[in-house]
Structure 1
Amino acid sequence: MNGSDVLHAVGRVREAFGDVPDDGWDRPAGTLSWSCWETVEHMADDLFAYAAQIAPADAPQEAYLPFVWRTMRDGGPSSTIFVERKAGTLGLLRALDACAAMLAGVIDAAPPSRRGWHPDGLSDPEGFAAMGVLEVLVHAWDVADTVERPWDPPARLCQAVLDRLFVDLPPHQNPWETLLWATGRTALPGHSPRTSWRWDGRPLAERS
């Protein structure tokens, strides 16, 4: 996976949610305790953080870069990136787009040998691309029902994320439904929703 995949995922978000009214973001995102606005901010923050992890030539191998994280309210996401609420839908989605462009640029510029820290394993630029796409796809699903917009991401992107970050998944014909199951959001035939889950960001060749 590469930077164009990140940009494609976020481009689909802008298409899907670009007409949400400015006052349509404040209800909880699906079953999350975060609002839809906070959830999109979290998506942007993840993309920014992933870019930071592999941007330096001496990328950190033991922790996140020491940006200041904070919450705007009790129970809200801990983030570096926040968007002025008065900026409305356009401002929120522009911020998401900007963070996607940062990650895409870093992914495509970094050497394949670079590794950056993540709690789910030291990862390479391709791995951070997959993680960024996953965050966008599944959190957009969290938001979609609340803001009453359809969300059905491309099967190719979903399959690429599954192939890069997950192993030992049950066979299923629809990669989007499999990704939702893999991230604890829905059931699959014969499989209850997961109550806990992790991905593995390490390069495939470096997994034991």
Structure 2
Amino acid sequence: MRDLGGERVEEAVAGALALLRTATDRDWDGVRADRLEWNCQRTAEHLAGALFAYAGQLASRPRDAYVPFEITLEEGTDQDGLLDVVGTAAALLVAAFRATPRRARAFHPFPFRSANREGFAAMGVAETLLHTRDIADGLGLTYTPAPELAEYVLTRIFPTVRPGPDPWQTLLWATGRGELPGREPVTEWRWSNNLVLPADRLTLEGVTPAAAADLCAGGDGGFDWLDGGPFEGTLEAAGMMLKAYEAGVHRPEFGLFALVRRSDGHAVGGMGFHGAPDEEVQAEVGYDLVEGARGHGYATEALRALSEWALARDDVRSLFATVEADNTPSQAVLSRAGFRQVSEDLDDEGLLAYQLRR
């Protein structure tokens, strides 16, 4: 899976600048940007500042806060000069993106307090598309970006939004800027970067809908897999997650995680949930490892980390897992992670049931 973040930022900003430069002779101060409280001038300044801030986050990678700086334009800067600043900020974001390792993360508050370089690129594209549309609407211009740009944003930082036939119209609806037949208007929204959970030797990296789709298509999902992985169970989980996303019921915190080894960055397996907690406030977990990673305690370590995180939530009271009667290694993983067998007999599918309560 190619990480197209830099190219997508360049494409989005090039299209935005090409359109907005046709209207630099107009009064941007006196025109409101669509439904925003800002005028067109202030909206363009915000766009430049956001792109610059994302570049700064990737360059310094702070863990707990934004880098404390902002853009200040020289007095008398005209619209052409402002758009030059937007282009410069975008170029800095692209450069920072390409210089940042794929697994590195930096602070961003929504919703899990960090983002990787793909997340920052998607946020940069979103800022560009949406605020260019805001400005264009205020100035009476027509703006329709390439659908691939909107799809890039939706499949990376809008994982709970059910896809629609037109990605651009879906993105506008998801951000309160438009309507979609059969869907209620959106009045409040946040984008969502993927969740990452730390363990001792591993990092559990939340798989985005874009990555799940790539895995289902035979790709690597953006991960460097050990021994030519992923294994069959991870591919099945990616398929389940993609179906949930396409149905609009996916909750990313209860999705699939790739188990990435800290020592070398290799993905050694997959672990996650079969969906959100049920009416009994119980969530089912599953996992597998590539063959070359088995026997090292990775599954136990990851399951302990995932269980601790899940059971600390108000919406999870217990975890549930099933395992084949002859799969003694997996049974041992569950037992070491604190799960207890809750069925003496096999179910209709020949599986034993295990549970871990809060």
TM-score normalized by structure 1? 0.88
Please name the residue that 1:21 is paired with.
Answer: 24
Deviation at 1:203, TM superposition (A): 6.0
Q: Which whole-Å deviations, capped at 9, do the CAs of 1:79-115 have from their partners, x for residues lacking one? A: x223346332210110000000000000011101110
The answer (yes or no) to whether the contact 2:122–2:156 under 8 Å persists in 1 is yes
Aligned to 1:94: 84
Work out whether 1:137 is the aligned partner of 2:140.
no
- Cα deviation for residue 50 of structure 1 reads 0.6
Give 3-state SS (helix, strand or coil) of 2:183's partner. Answer: coil
Give 1:106's aligned residue: 96
**Equivalent residue in structure 2 for 1:191, among 183, 189, 198:** 183
Distance 1:137 1:97, change over 3 A: same
Higher relative contact order at CA 8 Å, sep ≥6: structure 1 or structure 2? 1
Contact residue 24 and residue 80 of structure 2 kept, 8 A: no
Counterpart of 2:15 in structure 1 is 12
Aligned to 1:74: none
- The offset of 1:149, in angstroms, is 1.4
Q: Which moved more, 1:39-48 or 1:141-150?
A: 141-150
Q: Where do 1:25-44 residues align within 5 Å? A: 25-26=28-29, 27-44=31-48
Partner of 1:164, secondary structure, is helix
RMSD of aligned C-alpha atoms? Answer: 1.6
1:22 Cα deviation from its structure 2 partner: 3.5
What is the alpha-carbon distance in structure 1 between the residues aligned to residue 158 and residue 102 of structure 2?
20
Q: Which amino acid aligns with 1:132?
A: G
- Cα distance in 2 for residues equivalent to 1:190 and 1:139: 26
Count of equivalent residues: 194
2:56 counterpart of 1:66: no
Distance 1:98 1:154, change over 3 A: same
Structure with higher Rg: it is 2
CA separation in 1, counterparts of 2:137 and 2:55? 29
CA deviations on 1:21-44 (whole Å, 9 max, x unpaired) are 344211111111111011011001
C-alpha distance in structure 1 between counterparts of 2:24 and 2:88, whole Å: 21
Is this contact kept in 2: 1:53–1:117, CA < 8 A? yes
| Post-superposition CA distance 1:125-148 (Å, at most 9, x none) | 111000000000011111112112
Amino acid of the structure 1 residue aligned with 2:153 = V
User: Which has a greater percent of helix?
Assistant: 1
Contact 1:47 1:99 in 2 (8 A): yes
Q: Distance in 1 between matches of 2:62 and 2:37?
A: 31
Tell me what 2:146 maps to. 154
Q: Separation in 2 of the partners of 1:43 and 1:149? A: 18
Contact kept? 1:130, 1:165, Cα under 8 Å: yes
Q: Which runs of 5+ in 1 are unaligned?
A: 68-79
What is aligned with 2:55?
Answer: 51
* Runs of 4+, deviation exceeding 6 Å: none
3-state secondary structure, aligned to 2:103: coil
